[in-house]
Amino acid sequence: MSADEFDPFVERLFARSPTMPDAPLFTARVEQQLQKGSRVRFLALSLAGLVGGVVAVRETMQVDLDLAPRQGVVAGDALGQGIQSASVSVQSGVQSVLDQAGLGNLELGSMGGMQLFWIAAGALIVVAAAGVMKLSQEI
Amino acid sequence: MTQPLVDRHDVELAALAAAGGRREFGELVRRHGSAVRALLRRMGAQPSLADDVAQDAFIQAFQRCGEFRGEGTFAAWVKRIAARLYIKRVAKEARYVAEIENEDTAPATDHAGLVDLDEALKALSEPERLCVSLCHGAGMAHPEIASALNLPLGTVKSHVKRGLDKLRARLQPEPAQTMGRIQHVG
């Protein structure tokens, strides 16, 4: 057999592959791995979203909800006070969550509120993206 | 009524898998898992390593399924992914530079008289076996193999040539008879 005939002959031999006896097990392992990967990704994204949400709520409460004293309109006072008291209660709730997480002493208020919010959001997005990329590589 | 997965073409299944269809991808694994594992074993991987690399290759294929355009076969596409992953692993151990010669030239046929490629490949040194498998099993061109293995092109060509010479000596096919058998099996 010449080389011209032998090369395709070898290619055909390579194309013939026996079905492995444990093929179903292998398929199940791959499917399980895919399932696990998507669960981990879902959890990582949910966690990042949750942390980002908590920080966003905290910052929003600190920045926007002290409107009432600046507004001299009498009709707005009641509304302002209502919002302010709601903000205080939400803020204290968020603060207690942060305290439990050991993050209660963070001095975030010294910076501009919105500025800090965007910095925190940006950092979280970067961390979440890096985490997702790392997980994707590991899976 | 939806078409059963077993009746769907690979390209169609790959498109569905690219949209996140794990069941569809599972069907592709079922169809081509053995072929990818067999190629890795033919390249010289131990069975457990071959299975690990094949699994990683399929996971990577799932993540990159959108890149598969159906220009070649899906099996060939995954085989190339698997071959590259295996090369990365062996490159760390520099196994392919080891020259292990086995000069046993007994014809490689199984009990039924069919040509046994797996048996014949054992006569090749590791680099020859790897280069022949990458070239004829994974469909990689010589320059591509040279680049992946970080070997000179001439070295790759001589590994492939020597490997094929050894295979020819061991397989010793009777053309008409063997081709007929392959058509029946394949």
Q: Does the predicted interface ipTM exceed a cut of 0.90? A: no
Handedness of CA B179, A8, A4, B157 (dihedral sign): negative
| Domain assignment present for A19 | no
- A44-48, A104-108, B59-63, range with greatest mean pLDDT: B59-63
SS3 assignment, position B115: strand
Does A7 contact B164 at a Cβ distance shorter than 8 Å? yes
Q: What part of B 66-105 touches A (C-beta under 8 Å)?
A: none
Provide the whole-model pTM: 0.63
pLDDT band at B105 (very low <50, low <70, confident <90, very high): very low
Domain B1-93 of CATH type 1.10.1740.10: yes
Q: Degrees (nearest 5) of the Cα angle B149, B155, B160?
A: 85
Q: Is the pLDDT of residue B59 over 80?
A: yes
| Domain assignment present for A38 | no
Comma-separated ranges of CATH 1.10.10.10 domains in chain B: 100-186
- pLDDT for position B179: 47
| Domain assignment present for A3 | no
Closest CA to B166 of B113, B122, B100: B122
| Domain assignment present for A103 | yes
Considering the segment(s) B100-186 as one domain, its CATH architecture is: Orthogonal Bundle (1.10)
Handedness of CA A26, A29, A35, A36 (dihedral sign): negative
| Domain assignment present for A122 | yes
pLDDT band at B71 (very low <50, low <70, confident <90, very high): confident
Q: Is the pLDDT of residue A99 over 50?
A: yes
Identify the bridge partners of residue B85 per DSSP, sorted by sequence position.
Answer: none
Tell me how many domains chain A contains. Answer: 1
- pLDDT for position B111: 43
**CA gap B47, B34 in Å, rounded:** 12
**CA gap A100, A89 in Å, rounded:** 17
Does A13 contact B182 at a Cβ distance shorter than 8 Å? yes
Whether chain B has a CB inside 8 Å of the CB on A133: the answer is no
Closest CA to B163 of B132, B119, B135: B132
pLDDT band at B39 (very low <50, low <70, confident <90, very high): very high
From the number of C-beta atoms within 10 Å of its C-beta (0-12, 13-18, 19+), residue A90 rates as middle
Task: Give the least confident one: A2-11, B38-47, B88-97.
Answer: B88-97
Comma-separated ranges of CATH 1.10.1740.10 domains in chain B: 1-93
- pLDDT for position B100: 40
Does A26 contact B37 at a Cβ distance shorter than 8 Å? yes
Tokens of B35: 């072929």
- For testing contact with chain B, the best of A2, A5, A9 (most B CBs within 10 A): A9
The amino acid occupying position A46 is S
DSSP secondary structure code for residue A1 in this structure: -
pLDDT over 70 percentage in chain B: 79
List the single residue in B with minimal CA-CA distance to A15.
B137
Biggest CA-to-CA distance, chain B = 59
Average pLDDT, chain A: 73
| Domain assignment present for A111 | yes
**CA gap B147, B126 in Å, rounded:** 18
| Domain assignment present for A121 | yes
Range of the domain at A103: 51-139
